[in-house]
Amino acid sequence: MTKSRSQTHRTLHSALIAFSLLGVALSPAITAIPAHAEKAVAPEKNPPGDIPDTQVFVDYVSPAGFTMKVPEGWARSDNADGVSFVDKLDGVIVTMSDASTAPTAASIITEYFPMLESHGRAVTIDGVKPVQLPAGSAFLISYSSNSEPNAVTNKQVRQENNRYLFYKSGKIVSLDLYAPLGADNVDQWQLMSQSFRWN
- Write the DSSP string, 7-38: HHHHHHHHHHHHHHHHTPPPPGGG-SS-TT-S
- The range of the structural domain enclosing residue 148 comes to 5-21+55-198
Q: Is residue 114 part of a domain?
A: yes
- Write the DSSP string, 58-123: EEEEETTTEEEEEETT-EEEEETTEEEEEETTEEEEEEEEE-SS---HHHIIIIIHHHHHHHSSS-
**Contact (CB, 8 A) for 183 and 160:** yes
Q: Is residue 29 part of a domain?
A: no
Say how many domains are in the chain: 1
pTM as predicted:
0.84
> What integer is the mean pLDDT of 104-113?
93
Residue 102 pLDDT > 50: yes
Q: Is residue 27 part of a domain?
A: no
Share of the chain above pLDDT 90, in %: 75
Q: Is residue 176 part of a domain?
A: yes
Q: Is residue 34 part of a domain?
A: no
Instruction: Say what the pLDDT of residue 25 is.
Output: 32
Q: Is residue 194 part of a domain?
A: yes
CATH number, domain with residue 96: 3.40.1000.10
> What integer is the mean pLDDT of 101-106?
94
What's the CA gap between 90 and 176, in Å, rounded?
11
| Greater pLDDT, 167 or 7 | 167
